[in-house]
Amino acid sequence: MTGTHPLLEGLDPEQRLVAEHLRGPLVVLAGAGTGKTRAMTHRIAYGAATGALDPRHVLALTFTTKAAGEMRSRLRALGAGTVQARTFHSAALRQLRYFWPQFAEGPFPELIAQKAPLVSRAVQSVGISPERETVRDVAAEIEYAAVSLLGAEEYAERAQRRSLPEGVDPDAMVRVLERYGEIKTERRVLDFEDVLLVLTGVLGSREDIAAEVHGQYRHFVVDEFQDVSPLQYDLLMRWLGRRDSLCVVGDPAQTIYTFAGASDRYLRRLPVDFPEAQEIRLVRNYRSAEPIIGVANAVLARTARSPIRLRGTDRTGPAPAFTEYADDAAEAEAVAARIAAEIGGGRRAGDIAVLFRTNSQSRLFEEALSARGVPYVLRGGERFFARREVKEAIAIMRAASGRGGTDPLDAQVRAILSSIGWTPAAPGAQGAVRERWESLTALVNLAQDTQEKSALPVPLTAFIAELDDRAEHQFAPTVDGVTLASVHAAKGLEWESVHLVGVSEGLMPIGYAETADDIDEERRLFYVAVTRARTALSLSWSKGRRGGSGRRPSRFVSEIQAERRTTAAAPAGPRSPAPAPVKCRVCARLLTTRAERNRGRCAECPAEVDDAVLEAVIHWRSAKAEESRLPVFLVLSMPTVRE
């Protein structure tokens, strides 16, 4: 009898199946907090420990630098610290830089962090006034065109049907796109999406380079796969080549980037692209206490893509709070007071988050928390190492490191950073001053952590090497404090206590969400938000901006209440059997609303498909399923039916 491998302990049976599936394609479909990320990191570590996966040949991919950083620390803790865990962008950038001399002339182009200045020029050159909002919306549209892999003609055709930035008609938008491309070429710069686009092109046209990349990376793992864009999917397929060592995990109900061209169709289509793919579903949410699961399920019940309900682990917790305030300032003040009380009661500031729909909502909360002396972290780690103050700090540490590297590391770093104006206390001011202080404090904290973890004094040179390594991975340190983040940035993360603010019509759902699809994306975003909480959840909104009125609570709040009334009204005593699940006749998703059940199709699938055609498709699908002994769900390709 052999005992269980230590890396499989602490996994439930389904998670264990994931960890042990080390050959061939694998799809893990499961709800929020069910341990998808945990199962996949254990799979990598277990594969590495047993020799099934060579850690040098594994590439683990995520979508945000914070998530990549999280994954690296989880892997390190499991003894698989040599595995590369990166965002698509960072992995692509590294390869592009490396191979650049082999396919291009001249030095590597400059990367632009912000599109806005170039977009502004492009917009002006076609005679449109470069208002801030116009430039912002046009930049988003440019990104959409790039990540959707739309050529000029396809885009021109698609633009007719898209809601474009105000004052920009489809023809003008096409001209702006062309002009933007020309300006980049003239200036020899690449933007964020170009990094992936250029690399994809190179891998498609240069077999020697593709072969070298294939030799390096042999096993691919992708977290949050529901948010993959066509461009990222294309690149992933180039990386994979003809091989099939691919494990993806995702939750269709958490698709929140469709506005940027992402789509869960790749997640659902994977079993079609890889017919040998095994699908595993995780069933239990380990993250949240029961009252939070109740709220999450009430939201899920209303989303158009909810094949599942979350099942918790019976952990008890306080009932989620729903509170309306007179105005925005009162809301910020009250939330800060609640947070201060939580910290007073012993909760760590780092275990608390304030989440909002748009970044502009953060200012009042920053002010209210500062006024109470509560530490907070505003920005995520994005582009940390590109910040001016961080570059300056590293340069000055480098210069100081030759001077016979004797005080403890953290004391040295404090002294050096004090010379460029850093102080231990947070500044009262917000904005750039606060952000600069936050960046420098993050470096001080990292120095302290590094020193505390080491039995011997850490030389400054070793600390700088650690920073260089982190810069290369874009793995930013942060200060310990209450997290203030947009819901988009909070994806994949969790906190003991979550305060979701601004839950009103116009903010959540956001005012420009108009179509049923837009609203459903907002609902999924709301679902992502509430499922970040482990123990405590509070939702709040205000009646108006200042002493104002006119705002209504979000429809999502009334939906939760309505769902709960339905659940509460269910007859007591012996439970009536649950209604038989009805699946969409086209895509086989579980139908959740009565309207969908009556139609026999989910809201996404076309109603106009001729019934005879549909029957034929269903027949074909069942035959295929029978043939391959896979569940019907696995052999269906939605796009095929749509055509």
Binding-site ranges for Mg ion (CB under 5 A): 36-37, 492
Residue 252 within binding range of ligand ATP, rule CB under 6 A = no
Nearer to ligand ATP, 131 or 494 (CB): 494
CA nearest to 250, candidates 233, 231, 275: 233
**Interacting residues with ligand ATP between 272 and 291 (CB under 6 A):** 286-287
Residue 344 known to bind ligand: no
Residue 346 known to bind ligand: no
| CB-based closest residue to Mg ion | 37
Nearer to ligand ATP, 255 or 361 (CB): 255
Taking the complex as a whole, the smallest distance from the CB of residue 249 to Mg ion amounts, in Å, to 7
Residue 423 known to bind ligand: no
Give the C-alpha distances (Å, rounded to integers) separating 341 from 174, 181, 370, 409, 565.
Answer: 54, 52, 14, 34, 32
Taking the complex as a whole, the smallest distance from the CB of residue 318 to ligand ATP amounts, in Å, to 19
Residue 492 within binding range of ligand ATP, rule CB under 6 A = yes
Taking the complex as a whole, the smallest distance from the CB of residue 70 to ligand ATP amounts, in Å, to 9
CB of 209 within 8 A of CB of 47? no
Number of residues in the chain: 643
Q: Extract the runs of DSSP E, i.e. beta strands, from 335-437.
A: 352-356, 376-377
Taking the complex as a whole, the smallest distance from the CB of residue 2 to Mg ion amounts, in Å, to 30
Q: Based on the number of CB atoms within 10 Å of its own CB, is 13 exposed (0-12), middle (13-18) or buried (19 or more)? A: exposed
Name the segment binding ligand ATP (CB under 6 A); options: 32-40, 256-264, 508-516, 578-586: 32-40
First to last CA, the chain: 54
CB of 171 within 8 A of CB of 200? no
Query: What's the chain's Rg over C-alpha atoms?
Result: 26
Give the C-alpha distances (Å, rounded to integers) separating 120 from 126, 128, 164, 168, 259.
Answer: 10, 9, 16, 13, 21
Residue 204 known to bind ligand: no
Among 7, 18, 32, 605, binds ligand ATP (CB under 6 A): 32
Select the binding partner of residue 34 from Mg ion, ligand ATP, none (C-beta < 5 to 8 A, by kind).
ligand ATP
CB of 382 within 8 A of CB of 89? no
Tokens of 289: 């206490």
Residue 293 within binding range of ligand ATP, rule CB under 6 A = no
Residue 12 within binding range of ligand ATP, rule CB under 6 A = yes
Residue 577: what are its φ and ψ, rounded to 5°?
A: -60, 145
3-state SS, 131-190, equals CHHHHHHHHHHHHHHHHCCCCHHHHHHHHCCCCCCCCCCHHHHHHHHHHHHHHHHHHCEE
Select the binding partner of residue 74 from ligand ATP, Mg ion, none (C-beta < 5 to 8 A, by kind).
none
Select the binding partner of residue 252 from ligand ATP, Mg ion, none (C-beta < 5 to 8 A, by kind).
none
Rounded Cα distance, 384 and 391, in Å: 9
Residue 533 known to bind ligand: no
How many chain residues are in contact with ligand ATP, going by CB under 6 A? 19
List of residues 6+ apart from 241 with CB closer than 8 A: 210, 214
Rounded Cα distance, 16 and 44, in Å: 12
Taking the complex as a whole, the smallest distance from the CB of residue 267 to ligand ATP amounts, in Å, to 13
Residue 37 within binding range of ligand ATP, rule CB under 6 A = yes
Residue 34 within binding range of ligand ATP, rule CB under 6 A = yes
Select the binding partner of residue 32 from ligand ATP, Mg ion, none (C-beta < 5 to 8 A, by kind).
ligand ATP
Nearer to ligand ATP, 9 or 154 (CB): 9
Among 36, 43, 115, 551, binds ligand ATP (CB under 6 A): 36
Name the segment binding ligand ATP (CB under 6 A); options: 5-13, 156-164, 237-245, 457-465: 5-13
Residue 30 known to bind ligand: yes
**Interacting residues with ligand ATP between 320 and 349 (CB under 6 A):** none
Question: Could you tell me which residues are beta bridge partners of residue 59?
Answer: 84, 220
Nearer to Mg ion, 222 or 444 (CB): 222
Tokens of 110: 């400059």
Residue 499 within binding range of ligand ATP, rule CB under 6 A = no
Residue 607 known to bind ligand: no
Nearer to Mg ion, 487 or 560 (CB): 487
Fill in the amino acid letter for 240: L
Helices 192-205/207-216 angle, 10° precision: 110
Residue 33 within binding range of ligand ATP, rule CB under 6 A = yes
Residue 404 known to bind ligand: no
Give the C-alpha distances (Å, rounded to integers) separating 531 from 45, 184, 258.
Answer: 26, 41, 20
Nearer to Mg ion, 32 or 368 (CB): 32
CB of 353 within 8 A of CB of 497? yes
List of residues 6+ apart from 610 with CB closer than 8 A: none
Residue 173 within binding range of ligand ATP, rule CB under 6 A = no
Rounded Cα distance, 467 and 401, in Å: 13
Select the binding partner of residue 10 from Mg ion, ligand ATP, none (C-beta < 5 to 8 A, by kind).
ligand ATP
Distance of CA 105 to the CA centre of its chain: 35
Residue 133: what are its φ and ψ, rounded to 5°?
A: -65, -40
Taking the complex as a whole, the smallest distance from the CB of residue 36 to Mg ion amounts, in Å, to 5
Residue 15 within binding range of ligand ATP, rule CB under 6 A = yes
Residue 42 within binding range of ligand ATP, rule CB under 6 A = no
Residue 251 within binding range of ligand ATP, rule CB under 6 A = yes
Select the binding partner of residue 35 from Mg ion, ligand ATP, none (C-beta < 5 to 8 A, by kind).
ligand ATP
- How many other C-beta atoms lie within 10 A of the C-beta of residue 330? 18
Taking the complex as a whole, the smallest distance from the CB of residue 33 to ligand ATP amounts, in Å, to 4
Residue 10 within binding range of ligand ATP, rule CB under 6 A = yes
Name the segment binding ligand ATP (CB under 6 A); options: 30-38, 165-173, 260-268, 342-350: 30-38
List of residues 6+ apart from 182 with CB closer than 8 A: none
Taking the complex as a whole, the smallest distance from the CB of residue 40 to Mg ion amounts, in Å, to 8
Name the segment binding ligand ATP (CB under 6 A); options: 4-12, 453-461, 560-568, 624-632: 4-12
Contacts with ligand ATP by CB under 6 A lie at 10-12, 15, 30, 32-38, 251, 254, 286-287, 492, 494, 531
Binding residues: 30-37
Binding residues for ATP: 30-37
